[in-house]
Amino acid sequence: MFIAKNLAGIRVELRSHQQAATLSEESFTCPACGAPVRIKNGVQMPAHFAHIVGTCSASEPESQQHLLGKRWLQEWLSGRAEVAELEVYYPEIQQRADVVVTSRQPPLVLEFQCSPISVGDLARRTAGYHQLRLNVIWIMGRRYFGSHFGPKQYKFMADDLALWFLDSSRGILSHHQWQKQGWQTTHFTKAASRFRTRRFFDQAQQEQRQLESRLYYRDHTLLALQAVAYKQGHHLAGVPWEVHWAQTHLPGLPQPEWLMRAHWLLYFDNQPMTAAADLAFWNQYLALNAPLRHQAPVLEAVSHRWQQVLVAGGYLSGDGQWQRSLSWFPDGVHKRQAWAQARFQAN
């Protein structure tokens, strides 16, 4: 940690090796637990305080990545005319925030997460800040980097559907924002910022291969839906191609979007599509493992996009009345043959 209290009870922030050398003879304590801490002023790590014996609940051993990241965030914010404090301790919730932007009202907490954290701890710590009416953004370190976002990243996504990453060694803060046309990514350095948009592309054939593979290997989720399809005279592998078109590609869905659409088609195969019935269908997917955001807006977007596909295809009217049925294929072979024939005719 960079912050400790001296014998007069004044917060002291370590900012350099030179400063640390001048303070080496003084005594300091942890602002959270009051235990003695010492200055560590080695060559590899930034100068920092560490507990002489053990740690406390608000202060865990920190990596070089974490220490450098906190410092980088503070300096980056200062360059944007923000006032940021390091390691603010909140005794009411017994939590120490990595960085707090005090120039905003309410103050904004930035948590730089480099180590593993459970969904439960993530939810608890976030709830603690909200209890104090503090906004919080979670920023992920290197262990969370990747070209694709999976569950370990999605758990940090809040209601704004954004993900934040910090490469403290390179000094690059990345903001990934989900939008209808794709992910908009903005990279911030201390000197400048730049952004780009990564478009979504539907991968119908790849999804069809996954569908047939999961059925072949007797995936329990697909077999349960296959049983429903059989009762209604369909084969799940022959689900209409429309389920693959114009998906939202929203992160953190409980099932692939095409699979939820297939389920929807079977659900409404023998009943009218009313607003109440549609809501009841999507509500069954609400119990998701996403502690920082409400799932209803996400599922509303998925539902709205699916209805747009059906209306555009002439299957559903604007007021939700069926105009005509979608065509199921006898099986996956016939479905893929229809795709190949359509491509041949198009060329």
Tell me phi and psi for residue 270, to 5 degrees.
-125, 25
Q: pLDDT confidence of 287, banded at 50, 70, 90?
A: low
Whether pTM exceeds 0.85? no
Cα 311–253–288 angle (5° rounding)? 125
Q: pLDDT confidence of 289, banded at 50, 70, 90?
A: low
- The neighbour count for residue 238, using CB atoms within 10 Å, is 21
Segment 65-94 mean pLDDT: 96
Contacts of 84-87 with CB under 8 Å at 24 or more apart are 84/110, 86/2, 86/3, 86/13, 87/1, 87/2, 87/3, 87/31
Segment 273-302 mean pLDDT: 82
Alpha-carbon Rg for the chain, nearest whole angstrom, is 26
Confirm if 137 and 108 have CB atoms less than 8 A apart: yes
**What is the chain's mean pLDDT, rounded?**
91
Nearest to 57 by CA among 28, 91, 9: 91
The whole-number pLDDT of residue 196 equals: 83
Q: Calculate the alpha carbon distances from 259 to 127, 148, 193, 223 in Å.
A: 33, 20, 38, 12
Which of 70-84, 87-101, 104-118, 191-205 is least confident? Answer: 191-205
- Please name the residues in contact with 71: beta carbons below 8 A apart, sequence gap of 6 or more: 2, 46, 86
Taking each continuous run of H as one helix and of E as one strand, the counts in the chain are 10, 13
The residues that bridge with 4 in the sheet, in sequence order, are 12
Confirm if 94 and 109 have CB atoms less than 8 A apart: no
